[in-house]
Amino acid sequence: MPIQTGDRIPATTFVKVTEDGPEQISSDAFFAGRRVALFSVPGAFTPTCSARHLPGFVEKADALKAKDVDEVACTAANDAFVMEAWGKASGVEGKVTMLADGNGAFPKALGLEMDGSAYGMGTRGQRFSMLVNDGVIEQLYVEAPGQFEVSSADYLLARL
For the ranges 2-11, 60-69, 109-118, the lowest mean pLDDT is seen at: 109-118
Predicted model pTM: 0.94
Helix (H) or strand (E) holding 90: helix 80-90
Q: Which of 15, 36, 49, 110 is catalytic?
A: 49
Tell me the domain boundaries of the chain: 13-158
Q: Mention every residue, 6+ apart, whose C-beta is less than 8 A from residue 48.
A: 41, 127, 148
pLDDT value for 147: 93
Architecture of domain 13-158 in CATH? 3-Layer(aba) Sandwich (3.40)
**pLDDT range class, residue 122, cuts 50, 70, 90:** low
Mean pLDDT of 108-121: 84
Q: Are 12 and 101 in contact (CB under 8 A)?
A: yes
- Known catalytic residue: 49? yes
Of the chain, the end-to-end C-alpha distance in Å amounts to: 26
